[in-house]
Amino acid sequence: MTGLSIMCCVSDMEWRTVAVTILVVTLCFFAIPIRVGPDNNSEDIKLFENYVARYNKSYKNNPIEYSDRFERFQRSLRHIEKMNDLRSSQKSALYGLTKFSDMSEDEFLQKTLYSDLSERGKKHVSASYHREHRKRKERNHLEKRAAGIPLKVDWREKGIISPVKNQGSCGACWAFSTVEVAESMYAIKNGSLYLLSVQEMIDCARNTNLGCEGGDICSLLAWLKLTKSPILPESNYPLTRMTDMCKLKGAIAKTKAGIKVMDFTCDSFIDSEEELLITLATHGPVAAAVNALSWQNYLGGIIQYHCDGAFTSLNHAVQIVGYDKSDTIPYYIIKNSWGPTFGDRGYIYIAIGSNLCGIANQVSTLDIIYK
**Active site amino acids:** 173, 316, 336
Q: How many Cβ atoms are within 10 Å of 146's Cβ, its own excluded?
A: 17
Q: Which class for 2: exposed (0-12), middle (13-18), buried (19 or more C-beta within 10 A)?
A: exposed
Name the DSSP letter for residue 322: E
Ramachandran angles phi, psi of 129, nearest 5°: -90, 5
The residue type found at 92 is S
Q: Are 159 and 128 in contact (CB under 8 A)?
A: no
Report which of 241, 161, 253, 144 is spatially closest to residue 202, judged by C-alpha positions.
241
CA 143/CA 132 separation, integer angstroms = 17
Distances (CA, A) of 96 to 31, 49, 84, 296: 32, 16, 9, 9
Return the biggest CA–CA distance within the chain. 114
What ranges make up the beta strands (E) of the chain? 94-95, 130-132, 152-154, 259-268, 286-290, 298-300, 302-303, 316-324, 331-335, 347-351, 362-370
Compute the Cα dihedral for 162, 167, 170, 172 and give only its sign: positive
Q: Are 15 and 22 in contact (CB under 8 A)?
A: no
Ramachandran angles phi, psi of 224, nearest 5°: -65, -40
Residues 6+ apart with CB under 8 A from 341: 99
Name the DSSP letter for residue 336: -
Q: Return the exposure string of 217-228: e unless at least 16 CB atoms fall within 10 Å of the residue's CB, then b.
A: bbbbbbbbbeee
CA 113/CA 190 separation, integer angstroms = 34
